[in-house]
Amino acid sequence: LCEYLTQFTHKFYLSPIIKWVMITNPWLFKLEEMYFNQWTPKLDGSCCDKALVKGVTTIVTQALQSRRVRKIVDEQMFSVHYTFPPHFSKDSPEPTPPSIGVQTPTGTIGRNIVLLTHTINRFHIENAPAVRSTLSKWALYEVRLNFFNPYHHLTGLVEVNLTHEREIEHPLWCIAGSDSRLSTMLMNLSDYFFAYGLEVEPLIEHIASEHGDECNHGA
């Protein structure tokens, strides 16, 4: 709890400065949209799409995890929680309204900051189309990093999708200064999520293997 409160406090004074002064400052930089994508290795072919989606959403959206999963997630380099909005229905044919999401990167001091997002859930709609990705088979989350949100240092759009190649992709369309030295930092961010994809893949497959009953309703 103390560790989390420290990270949460850092967000209030660091994120606005990093975002509006160092990354999206139109008076200092030429702002352009930059595209990055990261993905996990190809996931277990014996698990159907529904089970793999269940594996991802259990890690990301389920509030109460088993002790085993909690221990693994707590030790990983990135932790994220995209909540169910009020009155959520898995039978709804529509994406959910935006709700607050929480990202907690770990590692260097610069990454020990809790970040807030506006997140739309799409995973409950089978084979939901992605907003922008052309690789997606089943869109799971749409994460909006709004310019007016001072509690996330990036501005843009992130998606989390299951691809046709059975990978979990994490594309990012980000507004930043193309003539800023921070462009190199964004490339490092891409490497960071590739490393996280390698780390989280076995947990997704393990949870998916426990939900084989999902496949009885079609892949």
Which uninterrupted H or E stretch holds 145? strand 136-145
- The closest of 158, 161, 169 to 38, measured between CA atoms, is 169
Q: What is the pLDDT of residue 218?
A: 52
Query: Model's pTM, two decimal places?
Result: 0.91
- Local confidence band at 194 (pLDDT 50, 70, 90 cut-offs): confident
When the pLDDT of each residue in the chain is averaged and rounded to a whole number, the result is 87
